[in-house]
Amino acid sequence: MGGTFSSVGSTNFDNRSFRLNDEANLNVISADFGRVQREVFEADWAKGRRITHAEWLARPLTEKALERLATVLRSQL
C-alpha cells in the first residue's frame, strides 16, 4: 500500500544544500504515484544488505585511503 503524499527531489538536509545548491523537490499528492514510489523503494531495499560494524572496520585499505583523500575535497562535497 502506498501513501498519498510523495516528495521526490535532490534537496538534502545539510548546509551546502540550504545555502549554496539550487536544489528542488517535487511534491505529489496521488495514491497511484505513492504506490509506485513505494514499490520502487521496496525493490531497492530488497537489493541492499546490512553491513556490520566489524565489516566496516575490515574494509580494504584502498577504500580507507580514498576516503582520507576525499576529506581534502570535503568543503566541495
Rounded CA-CA distance 42/24 in Å is 24
What global pTM score does this model have?
0.59
Q: What is the structure's pLDDT at 32?
A: 93
> So what's the pLDDT on residue 9?
87
Cβ atoms of residues 24 and 11 within 8 Å: yes
C-alpha grid cell, residue 12: 538534502
How does pLDDT run across 8-60, given as a tens digit for each residue? 888 887 877 777 777 888 999 999 999 999 999 999 999 999 999 999 999 99
pLDDT of residue 2: 57
| Integer CA distances (angstroms), 48 to 9, 34, 41, 75, in order | 21, 21, 11, 29
Sequence spans of domains, the chain: 5-76
Band of the pLDDT at 72, cuts 50, 70, 90? confident
Read off the C-alpha cell for 68. 582520507
